[in-house]
Amino acid sequence: MNAFAFKTAKVLAQETEFITVTVAGQLLGLPIGRVHDVFVVNEMTKVPLAQVEIAGLLNLRGRVVTAVSLRSRLGLQEECRVGRRMAVGLECQGEAYGLLVDEVGEVLKLKSDDMQPNPVHLDRRWVSLSQGVHQLKGELMIVLDVDAVLSFEAGRDAA
Amino acid sequence: MSLDLSIPVLVVDDYQTMVRILRNLLKQIGFTDVDDASDGQAALEKLRAKKYGLVISDWNMAPMTGYELLQQVRADAELSTLPFIMVTAEAKTENVVAAKKAGVNNYIVKPFNADTLRAKISAVIGS
Domain that holds residue A88: 17-158
Complex ipTM above 0.85? no
Residue A145 lies in a domain: yes
Residue A2 lies in a domain: no
Nearest in space to B6 (alpha carbons), one of B66, B73, B51: B51
Q: Using CB atoms, which residue from A32, A37, A105 is nearest to B110? A: A37
Report residue A101's pLDDT band, with 50, 70 and 90 as the boundaries: very high
- Please indicate whether, in this complex, the C-beta atoms of A65 and B111 are within 8 angstroms of each other: yes
- To the nearest whole Å, the CA of A47 is away from the closest chain B CA by 20
Supply the CATH number for residue A63's domain.
2.40.50.180
Partners of A92 on chain B (C-beta within 8 Å) are: none
The pLDDT score that the predictor gives to residue A34 is: 92
Count of other CB atoms within 10 angstroms of residue A52: 10
Q: Is A3 exposed, middle or buried (0-12, 13-18, 19+ CB in 10 A)?
A: exposed
Residue A1 lies in a domain: no
- For the cut 50, the answer to whether the pLDDT of residue B44 exceeds it is yes
Residue A10 lies in a domain: no
- For the cut 70, the answer to whether the pLDDT of residue A44 exceeds it is yes
Residue B13 lies in a domain: yes
- Looking at residue A91, the DSSP 8-state letter turns out to be E
Query: Rounded mean pLDDT of A37-62?
Result: 84
Instruction: Report d(CA B112, CA B41) in Å as an integer.
Output: 26
Residue B3 lies in a domain: no
Cα–Cα distances in angstroms (integers) from residue B27 to residues A1, A19, A36, A145, B10, in the given order: 22, 16, 12, 22, 13
Report residue A20's pLDDT band, with 50, 70 and 90 as the boundaries: very high
Q: What percent of chain B has pLDDT over 90?
A: 73
Supply the CATH number for residue B69's domain.
3.40.50.2300
Residue B79 lies in a domain: yes
Residue B57 lies in a domain: yes
Residue B97 lies in a domain: yes
Residue B4 lies in a domain: no
pLDDT in tens, B51-66: 999 999 999 898 999 9
Domain that holds residue B31: 9-125
pLDDT in tens, B64-123: 999 999 999 999 999 999 999 999 877 678 888 888 999 999 998 888 888 889 999 999
Please indicate if any CB of chain B lies within 8 Å of the CB of A147: no
pLDDT in tens, A51-98: 888 999 987 666 789 999 999 999 998 777 666 789 999 988 888 899
The pLDDT score that the predictor gives to residue A158 is: 46
Residue A29 lies in a domain: yes
Query: Which residues touch A49 (CB under 8 Å, ≥6 apart)?
Result: none
- To the nearest whole Å, the CA of A37 is away from the closest chain B CA by 6
Residue B107 lies in a domain: yes
In A1-62, where do the E strands start and end?
15-23, 26-31, 35-41, 54-60
The number of distinct structural domains making up chain B is 1
Please give the residue that has the higher pLDDT: either A5 or B48: B48
The number of distinct structural domains making up chain A is 1
